[in-house]
Structure 1
Amino acid sequence: MARTASYDRDTALDAAMTLFWVNGYHATSLKDLEQALQMRPGSIYAAFHSKEALFHATIDRYAARMAANLQTMIDETPSPIAALQSHLRDLADIAPCDRPSTACMLVKSLLEVSSGNALREVILGHLDRIEGLLTRAVSRAIELGEIPTSSDPSRIARRLQTYIFGLKIQAQRETDPGRMRDLCTDLAEEIGRLRRTA
């Protein structure tokens, strides 16, 4: 008879994700994971196989949530450009109390994991998927006639992704909520200027 797992996988992954997000991959020790997950080393390895595999799972979890939230917002707003503007404006409300860090876990991890490491390819793959989602939103805006057909969806998506991740990093250092709101509004208005004027 198979043994029933004595841990909740979702709870364990969320705890590990928070730890990796705050400390980074290399600075997170097995002892840290034991305490955060409330699991013994043998149980951690039995459940997740290795620290690297656990980190991989948390990165997948983080990226899936980010993509789902962005996709939902785009799908629920008739105007793709308005949805993207709204997302940029909403980044003004990021606060450390809402999450382990205002900075994006994908970006923090990319800066830490060295070239040639398999984990780096995982992170880059997730960033590519987010960019693809943004590209599809811009392409839809072109199809709906919101922005000119001469617009380059991929180029605009790269700019949007830079804005989104840049604002998350800025939120890490900005202490004045008004200045943060102004910055988010400025970038949202810039995207709004892509709309047809005629």
Structure 2
Amino acid sequence: MGRPKSFDEDAVLDRAIEQFWATGYHAVSVRDLEASTGVLKGSLYAAFGDKRALFIAALLRYASQSADQIRELLAHGETPRDGLEHYLRVRGRDCTGPHRTRGCLLANTAAEVAPHDAEIRAVVGQSFEKLADALVPAIRAAQAQRLINRRHEAKELAAHLVVLVQGMSVVGKTEPDSSLIRSSLRFALTLLNPD
């Protein structure tokens, strides 16, 4: 019988997320991962597999946490429309704030790794779908209450908002006070105007 693990896998994944996010997948070494997680290579690989498998596990956890954060942002305000506007404004602020240079781990991975790795490309694509799915109930509720327009199907509007936020995260990495982000955010808010 093997020795029991002496670490919390979720906590290790959270620290791995931070390391991959700060450094990028290709630039992270096993030593970096050992230092950032506090777990030696043998134990890391026994728990998660190799570096790539650890990265995929970290991406999946990041996507799940991101979807949870979306649902938390949507809970702000008195109406579902208020929550949607809050979500967009917070994401716009994140994309121009002090941590903007990190971007989004999913967007970073889409650019760095996904073009060359079909499995990671699929994980990123499914993760973006998960983020859109987190928005759909609020959009449908706001449409049912006639608080936002009903010209767009809820899933299509959710997909558009996710793509917009991902684009803002990429543009935000290049400039601290982007007029492109402000303009895109204003346009996105018009999509939420009632019929």
User: TM-score normalized by structure 2?
Assistant: 0.83
Structure 1 residues 192 and 21, CA gap change in structure 2 (3 angstroms)? same
CA shift for structure 1 position 22: 2.0
Are 1:55 and 2:55 an aligned pair? yes
User: TM-score normalized by structure 1?
Assistant: 0.81
> Where in structure 2 are the equivalents of 1:165-176 lying within 5 Å?
165-176=166-177
The whole-number CA distance in structure 1 between the counterparts of 2:55 and 2:84 is 30
Name the counterpart of 1:128: 129
The whole-number CA distance in structure 2 between the counterparts of 1:14 and 1:69 is 15
Write the deviation string for residues 65-91 of structure 1: whole angstroms up to 9, x where unpaired.
111111123245442222111111113
Name the counterpart of 1:67: 67
Aligned partner letter, 2:186:
D
> Where in structure 2 are the equivalents of 1:101-180 lying within 5 Å?
101-112=101-112, 113-114=114-115, 117-176=118-177
Aligned partner letter, 1:160:
L
The whole-number CA distance in structure 2 between the counterparts of 1:7 and 1:96 is 32
The whole-number CA distance in structure 2 between the counterparts of 1:133 and 1:37 is 29
The whole-number CA distance in structure 1 between the counterparts of 2:104 and 2:183 is 18
Aligned partner letter, 2:121:
R
Write the deviation string for residues 36-79 of structure 1: whole angstroms up to 9, x where unpaired.
22322211111212212211111111111111111123245442
Range moving further from structure 2, 122-131 or 25-34: 25-34
Name the counterpart of 1:87: 87
Are 1:27 and 2:27 an aligned pair? yes
Paired residue secondary structure (1:33): helix
Structure 1 residues 128 and 181, CA gap change in structure 2 (3 angstroms)? closer
Name the counterpart of 2:4: 4
Give the number of aligned pairs: 192
CA contact (8 A) 2:172 2:181 kept: no
CA shift for structure 1 position 115: 5.2
Unmatched runs of 5 consecutive residues or more in structure 2: none
Structure 1 residues 93 and 191, CA gap change in structure 2 (3 angstroms)? same
Paired residue secondary structure (1:114): helix
RMSD of equivalent CA atoms: 2.6
The whole-number CA distance in structure 2 between the counterparts of 1:133 and 1:60 is 15
Aligned partner letter, 1:174:
E
CA contact (8 A) 1:134 1:157 kept: yes
Aligned partner letter, 1:91:
R
Range moving further from structure 2, 160-169 or 61-70: 160-169
Aligned partner letter, 2:12:
A
Are 1:18 and 2:33 an aligned pair? no
Paired residue secondary structure (1:173): coil
Question: What percent identity do the matched residue pairs reach?
Answer: 28
CA shift for structure 1 position 127: 0.6
Unmatched runs of 5 consecutive residues or more in structure 1: none
Aligned partner letter, 1:171:
G
